[in-house]
Structure 1
Amino acid sequence: MQPFLTRSQFGSLCAICAAFLFSTKAIFIKQAYALSPNVDATVLMALRMGSALPFFLLISWFSRKSYSGIDWKDWLQLTAAGLLGYYFASWLDFKGLMYISASLERIILFLYPTLTVIASSVIFRQRLSLQTLFAIALSYGGTVIVMLQEQSNTPHEGSFWLGASLVFASAVAFAAYLLMTPKLIIKFGSWHYNGLALSIACLGTLAHFTFAIPQPLQLVAALPLSVWGYGIALGFFVTVLPTILMMQSIARLGAAQSAMIASIGPILTILLAVAFLDEHLNAIQWFGCLLNIAGVLMITLSKKKLAG
């Protein structure tokens, strides 16, 4: 009896579902911000990572293995990677969403593959090909088009540029995390690495919340149940579940093909923002968005060819 889905079809389905769930992040964050004046990036991040922590601890436990050949430097790098990629980068992203639209946030964040290529070129002293330079120009040109269109309709210009800068800094931090990841995955194993790195990020987020917010327990207890609902949804449906789905996809399709499927993410976020946040993109902004996606896809495809 043949399986209902082939290995590659199941991997593709996992990547599509992960892209959709990741795309809801900005929508949930924006809606949570609108519900209570006491909700900011630090509070919402604490709800998200606090609800995700038990799942990542379980993943770490059940995927554990012998630590022979792993020294204190590897543990230090793992800790730095977890804090950088899923605590600091996420906090910057949550903070930036206080000032800019969900659509623009997703477009700016989608630049991270270009940042890894640029950083790798600098670190390994490799010249970028004309095709890669053209792809980078497309991505950033499209992003600037969308930004300028939104900025012209924003009453508080300073807040807009602050938000855009915070989200771009988030993309830089996540790109740096990705550069640290391959070596650590070889050392710890993909499942164990992700479980440990995300557990560390959760603990860092909760420590930040505890020290940054006066009377944190009282504040959390006073939050509306709807805010709790969004926090838990961000923890499980936007963090734990899509992370597992994407790992399943990568195991069956490879990282490059999974990333190509995930490139539908910005389009999904924009459509969700139109449906649930009453955001609107004009024709020029849609054109800029498509340029951004085309440039990132060109870079992803070139990576796949190099890997092959």
Structure 2
Amino acid sequence: MSTSQAATPVASAPRSALVAGLTIAVAGAVLFSTKAVLAKLLYRYHMDAVTLIAFRMLFSLPVFAAVAVWKMRTEAPLSWGDRGRLLGLGLVGYYLSSYLDFLGLQYISVGLERLILFLTPTFVLLITSTFFKRRISRIEWLALALSYCGIVLVFVHDLAGGAGSTVVGSLLVLGSAASYALYLLGSGEMVRRIGSLRLVAYAMCVSSFACIGQFFLLRPVSLLVQPMPVYWLSLANGVFCTILPVFMTMIAVQRIGAPAASQAGMIGPVSTLFLGALVLGEPITAVQLAGTGLVLVGIYMLSLKK
């Protein structure tokens, strides 16, 4: 996907294309958010994060590897410098981020997890301000304040379920959001040169090999034998919560532009909150809804500023 395609204004697209693009973006956001619910279901089979993420990548790797091989055969080879950068991006953006996320999900609710991950744009803003000396405007400060007040509200509410575990889980997921922010910052220049599809395929392959290698290094091979529901849930995690959302998001960006696709993705935390209640029996309270609303307003303000 070229830069010009990604930056196509929404207003220039026909209404039918806009509706289709928004639908794809919303569906992708909901599917991607569902991974937290599936992870909670898999943890009921006494799996740990190392095994869970390895199963997820085992089912998603063939598709990303096929795309990577296709790109290798049809496009010019990457320089050694780009290969090194892709290795780093794959390890930080998808391996480390996913691993910390699944570790954190062992301790906190899916609603709080999704809200913390939704802070990724604020990390991007804070990192660029700190290291690249970009000035933060008053509107952006207000957006940051609203977002973090929402997180604190839900965090304090969830402390009632176990202070120690909530703190540990929240810090792990916070690390996941920071890792993915570093990936976004590092991938900006590369995606313009090599294309988003190629970048994602290569980075996901790196992440998959890291996750699977970690499993064989730290866990016995006998753990590959699991009850049948584990394979079905892992297949759904790999296909519906990994492969499809990645490609659906890219299609949505191509059709309606990155800003509109990003705003449509705000359905993610809301869908996770209700899926957690429907599937896992996690309660929905007024405090959680208020906190979710503050986070969504803050991120929406940041997206408008961009």
Q: Give the equivalent residue in structure 1 for 2:107.
A: 99
Shift of 1:123: 2.6
Q: Which amino acid aligns with 2:66?
A: L
Q: TM-score, normalised by structure 2?
A: 0.92
1:207 matched to 2:213: yes
Q: Are 2:137 and 1:163 aligned?
A: no
> Over residues 78-99 of structure 1, what are the superposed CA-to-partner deviations in whole Å (9 max), with x where a residue is unaligned?
1110111111100000000000
> Structure 1: how far apart are the matches of 2:102 and 2:300?
25
CA deviations on 1:238-269 (whole Å, 9 max, x unpaired) are 00011110000011111111000001100000
Matched residues, number: 292
From 189, 194, 200, the equivalent of 2:200 is: 194
Does residue 154 of the first structure (1) align with residue 161 of the second (2)?
yes
Aligned with residue 8 of structure 1, among 4, 18, 22: 18
Partner amino acid for 1:67? A
Name the aligned partner's letter for residue 82 of structure 1.
Answer: G
> What is the identity, as a one-letter code, of the residue corresponding to 2:20?
F
For residue 42 of structure 1, what is the aligned residue in structure 2? 50
The structural deviation recorded for 1:59 is 1.3
Q: Structure 2: 5+ residue runs without aligned partners?
A: 1-13
The DSSP-based 3-state class of the residue aligned with 1:146 is helix
Normalised by the length of structure 1, the TM-score is 0.92
| The one of 71, 76, 81 aligned to 1:67 | 76
Match of 2:224 among 215, 220, 224: 220
User: Structure 1 residue 111: deviation in Å?
Assistant: 0.4
Q: Distance in 2 between matches of 1:219 and 1:66?
A: 39
1:184 pairs with 2:187: no
SS of alignment partner, residue 125 of structure 1:
coil
Amino acid at match of 2:75: S
Q: Within 1, Cα distance between the matches of 2:84 and 2:302? A: 31
Is residue 274–residue 284 contact of structure 2 (8 Å, CA) maintained in 1? no
Q: Give 1:294's aligned residue.
A: 297
**Alpha-carbon distance in structure 1 between the residues aligned to 2:20 and 2:69:** 26
**Distance change >3 Å, CA 66–CA 116, structure 1 → 2:** same
**Cα deviation code 1:194-221 (max 9, x no counterpart):** 11111111111111111111x22x1111
Residue 5 of structure 1: how far off its partner (Å): 7.6
What residue in structure 1 maps to residue 33 of structure 2? Answer: 23
SS at match of 2:97: helix
Match of residue 62 from structure 2: 54
- 1:74 and 1:134 mapped to 2: Cα distance? 37
Identity, in percent, stands at: 35
DSSP 3-state at the match of 1:141? helix
Per-residue CA deviations over 1:122-151 (Å, capped at 9, x if unaligned) read 232121000000000000011000000110
Aligned AA for 1:154? G
- Return the alpha-carbon distance in structure 2 between the equivalents of residues 205 and 275 of structure 1: 30
Q: Do the aligned partners of 2:57 and 2:212 also contact (CA within 8 Å) in 1?
A: yes
The 1:229/1:182 distance shift into structure 2, 3 A limit, reads same
Superposition CA RMSD, Å: 1.4
**Residue number in structure 2 paired with 1:266:** 269
1:243-301 per-position Cα deviation (integer Å, ceiling 9, x unaligned): 11000001111111100000110000001001111111321221111001100111011
For the Cα contact (< 8 Å) 2:29–2:265, is it kept in 1? yes
Q: Which amino acid aligns with 2:76?
A: Y
Does the 8 Å CA contact 2:93/2:183 hold for their aligned counterparts?
A: yes
